[in-house]
Amino acid sequence: MHMYELPYPPVAGARTTAVSGLRGGAVFETTDWVAEEVPVALVYNGVSHAVMLATPSDLEDFAVGFSCSEGIVDSSAQIYDIVQSETAQGITLALDVASSCFARLKDRRRSLAGRTGCGLCGTDSLEQAVRQPQPLTTHQQFDAAAVSRALARMRERQLLLGVTGASHAAAWCTAAGEITLLREDVGRHNALDKLLGAAARAHLPVQEGFMAVTSRASYEMVQKTASAGVSLLAAVSGVTGLAIDTAQCCGVTLLGFARGQDLSVYSRPDRIHLEVRNLEH
């Protein structure tokens, strides 16, 4: 995205850079905003566990969300402290977690190297590669119009995307389609982890609402959604076969191609009412 007037104050996770090129057949030179992408190391009780490439904003949310969705802790209450430090090589998030969680982590410790376009980020066994969440028992119901309402309003909340054109977003929405929380990152998994962490830290009743993402829905997106007890995930783009299989097994209603009043239901259609209604009400 090419901006002639740079916004002030700057958006977290973005920096300026010089850019030149062709536009409309004319050569241009200007200053543009680009999204930051840095290595972020997650260290548990002094032991390095994962290095992800992420946007350097809302990183405490990211640490909490990653820890919970990866099953490193059972709840955010088992994270006692998070210390963030920065060097020329990247950012370190040092977490102090409950001793029982750390002992479990050591038992299944693995090395991860996350990439912003990754599916799974590396495991040392097939059993670890596809972890099935516990089946959900909620009877929550949703209206298709509420999903459409939330997705229609996400764009205006995506400040980093508006400046750089280079980020994904994940939002937690009430059953009525009101966006309560939204987080952004260059990586779609990271955006969802940031959202899950922010919701956990705010003690939101996430089981009563749904998740909306501006990306495709892969297995890990479904797995992370289910791990938080959320029963509906709506994606702007398509879904993968493994995402559908996982959603069916754990009871998540999985929606893809949710744009305007359109959406496709890939699992648990009994949880969503498909009547067309006015998006403004």
Q: What SS3 state is found at 154? A: helix
Q: How many CA atoms lie within 13 A of 173 on its CB side?
A: 29
Place of tokens 């995307």: 161
Query: Pairing between strand 79-87 and 26-35?
Result: unpaired
Q: Which residues are catalytic?
A: 118
The token pair that represents 2 in the structure block: 């090419």
Neighbours of 65 (CB within 10 A): 30
Q: Dihedral of the CA atoms 172, 63, 138, 259 (nearest 10)? A: 30
Nearest to 247 by CA among 225, 274, 214, 215: 225
Sequence-distant (6+) residues with CB within 8 A of 5 are none
